Structure 1
Amino acid sequence: EHIRLCLEEQVNAEGILNGFEKYRFRHNALPELDFAEISLKTTFLGASLRTPFLISSMTGGSRLAGEINMRLAEAAERRGWAMGVGSVRAAVEREELAHTFAVRRFAPSIPIIANLGAVQLNYGYGPDDCKRAVEIAGADMLVLHLNSLQEVFQPEGDTNFGGLLRRIEEVCRELPIPVGVKEVGWGIDGVTAKRLREAGVAFVDVAG
């Protein structure tokens, strides 16, 4: 349903600008450098990237979603990007869906980021489930997504957000890999980012 909505419905923000429209790069007609000598290589939490670019968590859990993940993984591997998969919750609960998140075989060298909804930590999920999500995706890191508005607006949404910071801190402490937090479209303010950092979160994806 999420894929269909993105393909067929009006999902872009209207009348909201990001501020970049106010600026223009000044063209340098005489750069005095060799383009071949420019390197974009960097490291991200100990992982090497040929390009500082991330395909943030997208999809998984259905045949079409598995195909999308495969193609994204192949592109990321070719370009040396990092890649996150969509919420692996479906595969944690239904083993037959695991292959739609198992992108490591298509991207053997890049950083892969598994993904779970942070709110699930209030619905029976714990560090062991997070480790299982990482195993399914063949991931190097885990990101917990914050989607409170999504959950509130969905009739079947999970809306108990109480005490989540403490539970996120527990996951950060228990997992032997970097754990990050991402938002799904409305951004993360500085105060919240600071609280997450103090709880042990290794990276923040503002995602909007």
Structure 2
Amino acid sequence: MRVVVLVSGTGSNLQALIDASADPAYGVEIVAVGADREGTLGIVRAEAAGIPTFVTRLRDHATREEWDAALTAAIAVHEPELIVLAGFMKLVGEPFLTAYGGRTLNTHPALSPSFPGAHGPADALAYGVKVTGATLFVVDAGVDTGAIVSQVAVPVEDDDDVVSLHERIKVVERAMLVESVGRIAREGITVSGRRVRFGASDSHALD
């Protein structure tokens, strides 16, 4: 399966996907890595692995819609079957979703639908929940609202702070992402409303 990965930061999830895709049995070829800013470690990781890269900066475009269209065009060059947002810190818009809606995955460091947005671990800790975790979902027009592909629970320890909790979430989030992307490549995935299941008649498409 041809995959484009989008990053904004250090690219630790990207690196996990790069490492996994080195095994032909995993079923994934990362055909490009894109970023919304220059100089990210994620781009450095991709270049070190010999993967084509591109950068589409918001500030280089007059409107967010123009940026979204430019990002979509940059991705389209690589003809991906799946897009993975791996720490990509921009919301995608209508041009992107028109082209790749239903074929784009993102992770969130909480158990959706609880604690959406940029501060999931902090919000979970502040609320006093005893269990939080990570969610992999199909991107839609909302904020962390897409159909859920996979979830992993993480207990909240009595001595946790935001940093310690988030670090434990990142570990299971990374493993969940790698496992799920590989299963999608090998088995396919079917999305029916909000219900998602692995397995499809065409293992190289999201139905």
TM over 0.5: no
TM-score w.r.t. structure 1 length? 0.31
Structure with the bigger RCO (C-alpha within 8 Å, sep 6+) is: 2
Q: Rg: which structure is higher? A: 1
TM-score w.r.t. structure 2 length? 0.31
Higher strand share: 2
